[in-house]
Amino acid sequence: MPESLTHLDSAGRARMVDVGGKAVTHRVAVASGTVSMKPETLELITAGEIAKGDVLAAARIAGIMAAKKTGELIPLCHPLGLDSVTVELEPAGPGVLGITATASVTGKTGVEMEALTAVSVAALTVYDMCKAADKDMVVGDIRLEAKSGGRSGDYRRQPS
Amino acid sequence: MPESLTHLDSAGRARMVDVGGKAVTHRVAVASGTVSMKPETLELITAGEIAKGDVLAAARIAGIMAAKKTGELIPLCHPLGLDSVTVELEPAGPGVLGITATASVTGKTGVEMEALTAVSVAALTVYDMCKAADKDMVVGDIRLEAKSGGRSGDYRRQPS
Amino acid sequence: MPESLTHLDSAGRARMVDVGGKAVTHRVAVASGTVSMKPETLELITAGEIAKGDVLAAARIAGIMAAKKTGELIPLCHPLGLDSVTVELEPAGPGVLGITATASVTGKTGVEMEALTAVSVAALTVYDMCKAADKDMVVGDIRLEAKSGGRSGDYRRQPS
Amino acid sequence: MPESLTHLDSAGRARMVDVGGKAVTHRVAVASGTVSMKPETLELITAGEIAKGDVLAAARIAGIMAAKKTGELIPLCHPLGLDSVTVELEPAGPGVLGITATASVTGKTGVEMEALTAVSVAALTVYDMCKAADKDMVVGDIRLEAKSGGRSGDYRRQPS
Amino acid sequence: MPESLTHLDSAGRARMVDVGGKAVTHRVAVASGTVSMKPETLELITAGEIAKGDVLAAARIAGIMAAKKTGELIPLCHPLGLDSVTVELEPAGPGVLGITATASVTGKTGVEMEALTAVSVAALTVYDMCKAADKDMVVGDIRLEAKSGGRSGDYRRQPS
Amino acid sequence: MPESLTHLDSAGRARMVDVGGKAVTHRVAVASGTVSMKPETLELITAGEIAKGDVLAAARIAGIMAAKKTGELIPLCHPLGLDSVTVELEPAGPGVLGITATASVTGKTGVEMEALTAVSVAALTVYDMCKAADKDMVVGDIRLEAKSGGRSGDYRRQPS
């Protein structure tokens, strides 16, 4: 069966892939994304110590907590006992806030979705906390950067 | 107090804005986003009737269910009793799947975050269901298209 | 559009029905169901004061808590602020435990699903707590008994 | 202590059974159930390609997602990292939709409740999506068909 | 029926009180609590700007998010659409961190439990983040300080 | 790095500690707490068979269910597959209800927070169910009594 169909049984019905026979290994995934905004919005976030601390702290915590909810949000994801999650937010250019999340597990299935979910919800939290100042913000470039530990071999995104 | 600080009290502490004094009005928000992938991945999704039905159906349902969880995911969002949520997924070019979500409520606070969350989780579901075929997919351009019904007036995104 | 299609838009896509234009009324729904088991299993439940209290108390609480989660479990259900939920469990014959749940809300949409979910999860809780003694138990006859308060008029199940 | 009391301590208080000393084995459970309805309701579901796709797809996804929430719904269930869940829905006679769910885990405790919860929530989703056309639908015959992998030996339901 | 029995029906069964007939009013509740620890633990929290920001920021956000989950945690609480939640953490003496939470709603039932839940989970978060340094911390004095807006009149705790 | 900073990276940012390298061991934690109330409120709870059963049963179940939600409530807690949870409630003096919770896991991280969360939510449930009779109740003395099984050695609280 082509690999692209692994979530689908013979009649096209969604199912959660059976990982019962897969090896328990240490798996890590890194995902990234951005929130693009007016440069002055990013300055508001990074300038004032108070405001900065809170927007970034809230986004980081929201991202970590969301990673733990991945199996609840994504229909066919396996519920996982994560070993770790980190979420970093850093200015990545004028009006661009970069977000990187790393998740790891000792288990039978990868943690790409956990890392991607952490980035997405951290980004949405930034949007929520700054939308009164800037409704034009755009969340983008959410992608897998690297993963390791699975049967299909390590993956590292090629520079585009 | 500048509008950009409405989530922060005088010492920079996160808080949920008090909407107790705001009017109950009918509020609508529309958000959009994309999943960029190899053209053949999109063809896999849209070609086979079975596969198509399932990926898009799962993403749509995941987006709707996620909209209902917005207040649980985004720390300072108010819990809302939504009137409606719709999520549409349509090819928007070679290797680009477009996603649009519309949320509405009769309440004291807007539903931008609900629409944005629906788009984000629908996109992550597409990623999850197709990642075996294409790990390079990118979720992007998640943004508010329009909102109406709030005190601050209607908003419509300017073409960029 | 035929009433049976109200959850489907023109292309058959699932959506949450828009209740924005519906009237806020007081709505009540009653649902029922049964757990069939060996008569001695039911006796174990009802005999010992301690054991009885616990199985029935746990099922009752699980049913009430599940009613509050209905919008999270059923994809197209609206999230609701319930006014009340009650769950009753009573022997209804040899080896038959009857369950009745009543839910009410002051809102724009009915609470049938909340009452049915309360019955279902209360029944599953009975199964879980007694399955070591009786794996052959069957949960059945889960149905809407009555509803009132909606636009479509009151409903009362006809005796079959 | 009689097996039927394993959820109860000496004073009848509910507790989550300690599985700390149980072996980690591969465990599978199969559960089934039905939704009985007017034959024309079932035809509405199965006839139109669009409608069919969506009701069954939504129910299947809702069932899978609910299996992952079993530990949250059933008070004394252990939280589990499921290996797989599948939910099948097929016509099983005039006006009868059959539902079968299979769950598996590599763990210390069985997955009967996960399979039963998947069936129950899939059935409730069918009810929700069709109730505008047919309020008399009945969810029934929810039962364990088979389980394997536990200390107490394999179980297979006897034909009744 | 004596007021103390309002959660119990005639047979002592738990039920969610019916608030269908209660007036929608603006309701506010304030709760407080403490975390007692070694003075040097509190200094670790309050001294370093970075550490301080994070422990207190995490506890504040955890408290706000928990307030939104009150109806999910406390079996007989009504689900509520909160108007606001704030959580404050401030040193209240040597080795004592004081926590105060305020919740408000425009609804039919009070928000005492939401304020108390916010305090409790904020306190547990402080414990979690500092327990490597000080396992002897004690969470205490969690109590309602004041409430207003309900039928039973305003309440203000008497100094003890 | 001082042990007190283990949740903080070099820039003070919250993160979930990486337990990937920790040993899987059997871990147990015991926590306790109290609800102080008017002696007559405690008598109301313990006297009537019906009332007694329900308040304590509801609190016990709420505590067990909350233990399973610890990873969802406390931002930096790891999600865990618990082996067992028990919650006991017993009068501990005039107007004092004592609560003890024990949690265990076979895993890489301790279950202190699960035991403490169970105690806290059981206590809040008592408050909720009795608050109509006694708003002055105080939840207090929530603390870790003992833990075993971790790398840092066993812990037993010293009598104060």
List pLDDT tens digits, range B138-158: 999 999 999 999 887 899 999
Class of residue F2 by CB neighbours under 10 A (exposed 0-12, middle 13-18, buried 19+): exposed
**Interface residue E15 vs chain C (CB under 8 A):** yes
Residue type at E36?
A: S
Q: How far is C39 from chain E (nearest CA, A)?
A: 23
pLDDT digits (tens, 9 = 90+) for E61-71: 999 999 999 99
**Interface residue C78 vs chain B (CB under 8 A):** yes
Asked if pLDDT for residue C155 goes beyond 80, the answer is yes
Lowest mean pLDDT among A44-48, D13-17, D47-51, E76-80: D47-51
Reported as a pLDDT band with limits 50, 70 and 90, residue A139 is very high
Asked if residue C79 lies in contact with residue B68, where contact means CB atoms within 8 angstroms, the answer is: yes
**Interface residue F54 vs chain D (CB under 8 A):** no
Class of residue F46 by CB neighbours under 10 A (exposed 0-12, middle 13-18, buried 19+): middle
Q: What is the mean pLDDT of residues C128-146?
A: 94
Q: Is residue C66 helix, strand or coil?
A: helix
Do the Cβ atoms of D54 and B57 come within 8 Å?
A: yes
- Marked catalytic residue, from B83, B128, B141, B154: B128
Of D26 and D6, the structure prediction assigns the larger pLDDT to D26
List the binding residues of D: 76-78, 113-114
Nearest to A149 by CA among C108, F124, F20: F20
- Whole-angstrom distance, CA of residue B88 vs CA of residue B90: 7
Structural tokens at position A142: 């959410």
* In E42-133, beta strands by DSSP E: 84-91, 96-107
**Interface residue D49 vs chain A (CB under 8 A):** no
Do the Cβ atoms of A139 and B142 come within 8 Å?
A: yes
Q: Which chain D residue is nearest to residue B54, measuring alpha carbons?
A: D57
Q: Report pLDDT for D90.
A: 94
pLDDT digits (tens, 9 = 90+) for F14-30: 888 899 999 999 999 99
Asked if pLDDT for residue F138 goes beyond 80, the answer is yes
B128 assigned to active site: yes
Q: How far is B136 from chain A (nearest CA, A)?
A: 7
Structural tokens at position F59: 């609190």
Residue D159 neighbours by CB distance under 10 Å: 4
pTM: 0.94
Q: Is C114 annotated as a binding residue?
A: yes
- Whole-angstrom distance, CA of residue C152 vs CA of residue C149: 8
Reported as a pLDDT band with limits 50, 70 and 90, residue E7 is very low
Q: Which residues pair with B107 in a beta bridge?
A: B25
Asked if pLDDT for residue F12 goes beyond 70, the answer is no
CATH code for residues D25-147: 3.30.70.640
Domain borders along chain F are: 25-147
Residues of C in contact with B79 (CB under 8 A): 79
Asked if pLDDT for residue C117 goes beyond 70, the answer is yes
Residues of B in contact with A48 (CB under 8 A): 12
Q: Report pLDDT for A144.
A: 98
Q: What is the mean pLDDT of residues A15-22?
A: 89
Q: Which chain A residue is nearest to residue B117, measuring alpha carbons?
A: A124
| Cα dihedral C51/C52/C55/C56 (nearest 10) | -160
Q: Report pLDDT for E12.
A: 57
Lowest mean pLDDT among A135-149, D28-42, D51-65: D51-65
Reported as a pLDDT band with limits 50, 70 and 90, residue C2 is very low
Phi-psi map region of C157: left, alpha, beta (phi>0 left; psi -120 to 50 alpha): beta
pLDDT digits (tens, 9 = 90+) for A33-89: 999 999 999 988 886 433 434 788 899 999 999 999 999 999 999 999 999 999 999
Do the Cβ atoms of C16 and B104 come within 8 Å?
A: no
Q: Which residues pair with E80 in a beta bridge?
A: none
What is the b/e burial string over C114-151, where b = at least 16 CB atoms within 10 angstroms of the residue's CB? bbbbbbbbbbbbbbbbbbebbbebbbbbbbbbbbbbbe
**Interface residue A139 vs chain F (CB under 8 A):** no
**Interface residue D78 vs chain A (CB under 8 A):** no
Cα–Cα distances in Å, from D69 out to C66, C121, D79, D121, E148?
11, 12, 8, 11, 37
Chain mean pLDDT for chain A: 87
Q: Which chain B residue is nearest to residue C80, measuring alpha carbons?
A: B81
Q: How far is E124 from chain C (nearest CA, A)?
A: 23
Q: How far is E111 from chain F (nearest CA, A)?
A: 11
Nearest to F2 by CA among A60, E51, E127, E91: E51
Measured in degrees and rounded to the nearest 5, phi and psi for residue F46 equal -90, -20
Cα–Cα distances in Å, from B108 out to C73, C79, C112, E71?
26, 16, 27, 21
Nearest to E124 by CA among F112, A156, F159: F112
